[in-house]
Amino acid sequence: MNGQSQVLPGGGHASREGINMAAAPRTVLISGCSSGIGLELAVQLAHDPKKRYQVVATMRDLGKKETLEAAAGEALGQTLTVAQLDVCSDESVAQCLSCIQGEVDVLVNNAGMGLVGPLEGLSLATMQNVFDTNFFGAVRLVKAVLPGMKRRRQGHIVVISSVMGLQGELW
Ligand SMILES: NC(=O)c1ccc[n+]([C@@H]2O[C@H](COP(=O)([O-])OP(=O)(O)OC[C@H]3O[C@@H](n4cnc5c(N)ncnc54)[C@H](OP(=O)(O)O)[C@@H]3O)[C@@H](O)[C@H]2O)c1
């Protein structure tokens, strides 16, 4: 390679000296970061020692951001930013994405809820809310980021699911 380096997909460089992984950080958008898995994942990625991720940790109610901000610590405003995002709202998704500099490299569809119980004891409205959030909320975000990922021919979409989607429960 005559001492010259070659740019790899994702921004790293290959050269005679080896692979330089000092690529630009990947922008990771995570839904549902007010608690639980979303919060923990956001904080873990933001604390990556190699600073490989710029985390956009989102939640529908910014009034709940204190726990996340406390857990983020020094990463707050550096490798982690908090943004409002309600996965059930087209407007909220558009607003959130418009505030992100550059493109979303990784989408983590985490926002969601469980609902278990006897059918006759659950209202249709409650069930519809689960579908609006868990299914259509995820689809709404995928539709928003997929065109950019396809254009760039790269990107990752992670969907946090449940074993309950595979196994039935007897009531
Ligand atoms: N933990 C488990 O054992 C388990 C098992 C199976 C599947 N899962 C799935 O894993 C994911 C995370 O669960 P978790 O255990 O971490 O639960 P969690 O602590 O209740 O977190 C769920 C998150 O989703 C958010 N959310 C709900 N509706 C939303 C909406 N319309 N827009 C944006 N955010 C919304 C919640 O926000 P609010 O605080 O505003 O409600 C919360 O931040 C969920 O999809 C869940 O179904 C978890």
Three-state SS string over 47-109 comes to: CCCCCCEEEEEEECCHHHHHHHHHHHHHHECCCEEEEECCCCCHHHHHHHHHCCCCCCCEEEE
pLDDT band at 26, cuts 50/70/90? very high
Give the position of tokens 């309600």. 86
Provide the number of structural domains found in the chain: 1
Quick check: 13 pLDDT over 70? no
Question: What pLDDT digit, counting tens, does each position of 29-39 carry?
Answer: 999 999 999 99
Question: What pLDDT digit, counting tens, does each position of 62-101 carry?
Answer: 999 999 999 999 999 999 999 999 999 999 999 999 999 9
pLDDT > 70: percent of the chain: 87
Q: Is residue 6 part of a domain?
A: no
Contact between 104 and 126 under an 8 Å Cβ cutoff? The reply is no
Contact between 33 and 66 under an 8 Å Cβ cutoff? The reply is no
Distance 111 CA to ligand 1 centre (A): 5
What CATH number did the domain enclosing 126 receive?
3.40.50.720
Instruction: Please give the Cα distance from 146 to 156 (Å, whole number).
Output: 9
Residues paired with 108 in a beta bridge: 30, 158
For residue 100, give its domain range: 26-161
Question: What pLDDT digit, counting tens, does each position of 133-166 carry?
Answer: 999 999 999 999 999 999 999 999 999 999 988 8
Q: Is residue 16 part of a domain?
A: no
Give the position of tokens 């490798």. 79
Q: Is residue 169 part of a domain?
A: no
Q: Is residue 5 part of a domain?
A: no
Residue from 64, 113, 136, 167 whose mutation best tests the ligand 1 pocket (most atoms within 8 A of CB): 113
User: Per the confidence metrics, is the pTM higher than 0.85?
Assistant: yes
Q: Is residue 168 part of a domain?
A: no
* pLDDT at site 6: 43
* Ligand 1 atom index nearest CA of 85: 33
Q: Among 13, 8, 27, 4, which Cα is nearest to 101's? A: 27
Distance 10 CA to ligand 1 centre (A): 30
